[in-house]
Chains A and B, each alone.
Chain A
Amino acid sequence: MLHTFVSYVEDKPGVLTRVASLFRRLNLNIISLTVGRSERPGLSRLTLVCEASAEAGHRIRASMFKLENVIDVDDIAGAPSVTRELALIKVAATKHTRSAIFELVEVFRARIVDLAPESLLIEMTGVESKIEGLIQVLTEGDNQILEICRSGKMTMRRGHHTSRVLRAMSQTAESDPEESASQVQQAQEGAVIQPE
């Protein structure tokens, strides 16, 4: 099955290598990986999708936590969540074919972000299947696709979910480090396996 992990990692050189190396060592293929800044200074957020057996989720998550630079790991597995991908698609287009493409773009709620004499640049955000749908109709309409750039999946749980680890960290950021660690620990003990 597909597993989706959302993880906060330290924003330092080499951290992505460590995460990627773990999956290499577990002989798991990373299907999609997106990384970027998060709402927390110094922490990046990554969404990682891989194919593994259903039971493997626990061990993958536990192994990610063992990496020193990994602060939090959430296994989205089936929880209500929103997943999006961004795609930039460059299509060959002349004066004559443009309007047909405009129509498709409209239907798919995508946007044209660049227009050149011989090409169009489409920006589209959505779930994977929608992006694939657009690519398919473009191809079927005999449009020549020149370039595709896809961001990979980004996932966020629905509702007011925040991991208790992260909440404890932000609440105690100002207080005594010893104390905050124990609070984080308490939060971790009770919570992370079953985030609300």
Chain B
Amino acid sequence: MDTTNTTPSPNGHQTTPTRLTGSEILWATLVGEGVTEVFGYPGGAILPAYDALRKFPIRHILVRHEQGAAHMADGYARASGKVGVAIATSGPGATNLVTGIATAMLDSIPMVCVTGQVSSKVLGTDAFQEVDITGVTLPVTKHNFLVNRAEDLAPALRLAFQIAKSGRPGPVLVDITKDAQQATALFDFAAARPAPYRPHPMLKVEDSGLAHAAELIRGAKRPVILAGHGVLQSGAMEQLRTLAERAQIPVALTLLGLGGFPASHPLNLGMMGMHGEAWVNDAIQNADLLIACGMRFDDRVIGTPATYALKAKKIHIEVDPAEINKNIKVDVALVGDLAEVLEQLLPRISSKNQGGRDGSAWIKTIESSKGAVAVRDIKNLPDSGHLYAAHVMHDLWRITGGNAIVVTDVGQHQMWEAQYYHHEHPRTLITSGGLGTMGFALPAAIGAKIACPEKEVWVVAGDGGFQMTSPELATIVQEKLKINIAIINNGYLGMVRQWQEFFYDKNYESTPLVSPDFVKLADAHGIAGLAVRTRPDVETAVAQARSHNGAFLLNFLVEKEDSVYPMIPAGSGLHEMIRRPGKNPLIERSDD
């Protein structure tokens, strides 16, 4: 088949319909949507699609487990802002995607998953490898489709892309029966265009709301901007920065917001919430105005609504109307795309009308509480022979100049990364925030590297989570990817151990963890590696990994029973932080 007449241009200029099989329509539509890479794993019900793949200019990355395919598509989307695509067969292939789909759903990641399905003639008969995957994924997708006719395929796929990336983005699944892949239909990319996107009818940015917000900002003495994932999703970095600078308002970030505002900016406070620095959470608790930008007052961020920022008026700028007043009641809601809303708000904010507030006094107050904490910081203390994860993250940040894409797994190392690797640019921290999915890092990093081949990509994973998806090491080799892997090996499911230490009388039930020799594991895959035990070795090891031509794994054998501080116990208020205990000279004094 000559793909030149059937492969439409992305802007859909082709108008002559061509008769194609459903499988060909699938790939041609993906090409038309601008897809150049997909992550997948074949099987019976998706075999017709795989059979047609080589005719199309799409790179297929063969994964080792379908969960990996979903995380790769997710990492690809987070790194690039484009829609990631994962593909799997029916039944077990489809169910293996589910954790990855839920991960994308909770973090609002644009993703399209394509699954094969048994023939429409046997649908609903418990045929071999039949699973009602649209039923299974209904609550963890933004939308899903079952397509059982070839002619319905292109419109469904195009609509899937539109839904995935519009409004508040999210994953969409398209389940295609085998007979729909095999049948033929007329394919016309342009004609398959979905009806224009219908914005959520409750989006609402009124002049009165903008005026009220501007007035609150003008009158505030202790304002804080809370910046979330929406800053990246909406591409509102510039607008956010202008707002902060013009009105001299400090910015606190959620985990997924890191990178949305430069870490080195003098107004950047750092991360808020459960493992946010004390001065950030204190600033929020003492604020008289919170300006929430593209964040959803998640329970990991607010602690408990009962005591959250009680002195503060709240402005909420958010694209999803269902988030307004969900966890925290707000005074002004501006419901729309963040960048657009800020564009509308900015003309009403001038640096002159800050007369009512001595901005610098508020910032000085925060700065002074920062100074007290900084002296106890682990990374500033002399080397005592212990290797702390904080050292590793700090050195990694220094050596990479804060410019790498860091993809973390879930656990203590994830929080240390967030605390000690300072992100200057958007889309340089890729992490599972909402679902907290262990096993995310390695596959998501593969997706990120494929999306951004010219970028330096680091995996930061725990010894536990790494083992959940480590077979994807083979994918790295097969795809010849230069990815650096840092395992923060503490011999424990560390974050759970920490909770057991704090809240379960140090009953370390089922958290000590035996692991393979990760360097040998890497070696078995043909990946070079090194174990690192002392602080002075960190720098040379990181340098060696970076300069190595090919993937490289560093196994950092860190202090086993270190904990992440500060910590807000689940359900407590932001001011009820657990601080580092004072006895150990290596760690923070309790009066800090």
- Given the interface contacts A177-B196, A192-B201, A192-B202, does A58 sit within 8 Å of B325 by beta carbon? yes
B77 proximal to A (CB < 8 A):
no
Q: Please give me the residue from chain B that is nearest to A180 by CB atom.
A: B196
Check if A63 sits within 8 Å of B322, measured CB to CB.
Answer: yes
Chain B residue contacts of A59, Cβ below 8 A: 322, 324-326
Task: Please state if A193 and B204 are interface contacts (CB–CB under 8 Å).
Answer: yes
CB distance from B156 to the nearest CB of A (A): 12
Q: Write out, one digit per residue, whether chain A residues 19-56 have a CB within 8 A of any chain B CB (1) or not (0).
A: 00100010000000000000000000000000000010
Q: How far is the CB of B210 from chain A (nearest CB, A)?
A: 14
B352 surroundings in chain A (CB, below 8 A): none
* Cβ contacts under 8 Å, B455 to chain A: none
Q: How far is the CA of A157 from the CA of B195 in the complex (A)?
A: 30
| Chain B, range 344-379, C-beta contacts under 8 Å to A | none
Find out whether the CB atom of A177 lies under 8 angstroms from the CB atom of B195: yes
Beta-carbon contact of B139 and A66 below 8 Å? no
Q: Which residues of B contact A185 (CB under 8 A)?
A: 198-199
B134 within 8 A of A: yes
Q: Does A134 belong to the interface (CB within 8 Å)?
A: no
Which B residues are CB-close (under 8 A) to A192?
A: 201-202
Residues B138 and A21 in contact, CB atoms below 8 Å apart? yes
Per the bound structure, the CA–CA distance linking A96 and B394 in Å amounts to 93
Per DSSP, chain B at the interface is loop
Contact size class for A? 20 to 34
Q: Quote the shortest CB–CB distance from A40 to chain B (angstroms).
A: 15
Contact call B322/A165, Cβ cutoff below 8 A: no
Q: Does B321 contact A (CB under 8 A)?
A: yes
CB atoms of A21 and B139 under 8 A apart: yes
Q: Which residues of A contact B320 (CB under 8 A)?
A: 62, 66
Check A62/B134 contact, CB under 8 A, given A181-B196, A181-B198, A192-B202.
no
A166-196 interface bits toward B, Cβ cutoff 8 Å, 1 = contact, 0 = none: 0000000000011001101100110011000
- CB-defined contacts of B324 to chain A, threshold 8 Å: 58-59, 62
Closest to B167 in A: A66
A18 interfacial by beta-carbon distance below 8 Å: yes
Residue of B142, B198, B320, B325 contacting most chain A CB atoms (<10 Å):
B198
- Cross-chain contact A61 with B143 (CB below 8 angstroms): no
Residues on A with beta carbons closer than 8 Å to the beta carbon of B135: 17
Give the distance to chain A from B111, nearest Cβ to Cβ, in Å: 16
**Bound state CA distance, A189 and B134, in angstroms?**
32
Contact B201 A165, beta carbon cutoff 8 Å: yes
Could you tell me the distance between the alpha carbons of A72 and B203 in the complex, rounded to whole angstroms? 14
Interface contact B199-A188, CB-CB below 8 Å: yes
CB-CB under 8 A from B138, the residues of chain A are 17-18, 21
1/0 contact string of B122-142 vs chain A (CB within 8 Å): 000000000000110011001
Alpha-carbon separation in the docked complex, A61 to B201 (Å)? 10
Judge whether B200 and A189 touch: CB under 8 Å. no
Chain B nearest CB: distance from A98 CB in Å?
47
Q: Is A14's CB within 8 Å of the partner chain B? A: yes
Q: Which residues of B contact A21 (CB under 8 A)?
A: 138-139
B163 within 8 A of A: yes
- Does chain A have a CB within 8 A of B197? yes
User: Could you tell me if B139 and A25 are in contact, using CB atoms closer than 8 angstroms?
Assistant: yes
CA separation between A48 and B146, bound complex, in Å? 26
Contacts A68-B163, A177-B196 given; indicate if A62 touches B139 (C-beta within 8 A): no
Contact: B199 with A178, CB < 8 Å? no
Identity of the chain A residue whose Cβ is nearest the Cβ of B201 in the assembled complex: A188
How many Å lie between the Cα of A189 and that of B320 in the bound state? Answer: 14
Q: CA separation between A184 and B201, bound complex, in Å?
A: 9
When chains A and B are docked, how far (Å) is the Cα of A68 from the Cα of B194? 13
B199 touches A193 (CB 8 A): no
Asked if B200 and A178 make an inter-chain contact with CB atoms under 8 angstroms apart, the answer reads no
Query: Contact mask A154-167 → B, CB, 8 Å, 1/0?
Result: 00000000000100
Question: Residue A108 at the B interface, CB < 8 A?
Answer: no
| Count of chain B residues near A, Cβ 8 A | 24
In the complex, whether A65 has a CB less than 8 A from a CB of chain B is yes
Produce 1/0 per residue, B411-441, CB < 8 A to A. 0000000000000000000000000000000
Residue among B134, B146, B197, B203 with the highest chain A CB neighbour number at 10 A: B203
Question: What residue of chain B has the Cβ atom nearest to residue A69's Cβ?
Answer: B143
Q: Which among B143, B201, B326 is the interface contact of A65 at CB below 8 angstroms?
A: B201
* 8 Å CB interface, B189-215 against A: 195-204
A168 to chain B minimum Cβ distance, whole angstroms, is 11
Instruction: Tell me which residues across on chain B come within 8 A of A189, comparing CB atoms.
Output: 201, 203-204
With A17-B138, A21-B139 as contacts: A62 and B197 at CB distance below 8 Å: no
Minimal beta-carbon separation of B413 from chain A (angstroms):
32
Tell whether, in the assembled complex, residue B139 and residue A55 are in contact, meaning their CB atoms are under 8 Å apart. no
From residue A70, how far is it (CB to closest CB) to chain B in Å? 10
| A61 to chain B: closest residue by CB | B202
Q: Which residues of B contact A182 (CB under 8 A)?
A: 196
**With a CB–CB cut-off of 8 A, which chain B residues contact A62?**
200, 202, 320-322, 324
Q: Are the C-beta atoms of A181 and B325 separated by less than 8 Å?
A: no
**A17, A66, A72: the one within 8 Å of B322 (CB):** A66
Residues of A within 8 Å of B201, CB to CB, are 65, 72, 165, 188-189, 192
Complex Cα–Cα for A181 and B162 (A): 15
A87 to B215, CA, bound (A): 56
Residue of chain A at shortest CB distance from B197: A181
Interface residue from A14, A177, A193 paired with B134 (Cβ < 8 Å) = A14
Contact present for A65 and B200 (CB under 8 Å) = yes
- B335 CB to closest chain A CB (Å) equals 9
A52 CB to closest chain B CB (Å) equals: 13
Chain B residues, Cβ within 8 Å of A193: 202, 204
A68 contacts B143, C-beta separation under 8 Å:
yes
Q: How far is the CB of B322 from chain A (nearest CB, A)?
A: 4
**Closest beta carbon of chain A to B323's beta carbon, Å:** 8
Q: Hey, what's the 0/1 contact readout for B91-130 against A, CB within 8 Å counting as 1?
A: 0000000000000000000000000000000000000000
- When distances are taken between beta carbons in the complex, the residues of chain A under 8 Å from B163 are 68
In the complex, what's the smallest C-beta–C-beta distance from A37 to chain B, in angstroms? 22
Q: What's the least CB distance linking A57 to chain B, in Å? A: 11
A71 to B, closest residue via Cβ: B198
CB neighbours of B134 from chain A (8 A)? 14
The residue of chain A having its C-beta at the shortest distance from the C-beta of B199 within the complex is A185
Q: Which residue of B lies closest to A182 (CB)?
A: B196
CA gap between A185 and B142 in the complex, in Å: 21
Q: Do B195 and A181 touch (CB < 8 A)?
A: yes
| CA–CA, A169 and B200, complex, Å | 15
Query: Cα distance A184–B195 when bound, in Å?
Result: 12
Query: Contacts of B197 on A, CB cut-off 8 Å?
Result: 181
A-B pairs with lowest CB-CB distance, top 4: A181-B196, A188-B201, A62-B322, A62-B321
Residues of B within 8 A of A (CB): 134-135, 138-139, 142-143, 146, 163, 195-204, 320-322, 324-326
Q: Could you write out 6 A-B pairs with CB less than 8 Å apart?
A: A59-B325, A59-B326, A62-B200, A62-B320, A65-B202, A193-B204
Contacts A21-B139, A193-B202 supplied; 18 other A-B pairs, CB < 8 Å: A18-B138, A58-B324, A59-B322, A61-B202, A62-B202, A62-B324, A65-B200, A65-B201, A65-B321, A66-B200, A68-B142, A181-B196, A185-B198, A185-B199, A188-B203, A189-B201, A192-B201, A192-B202
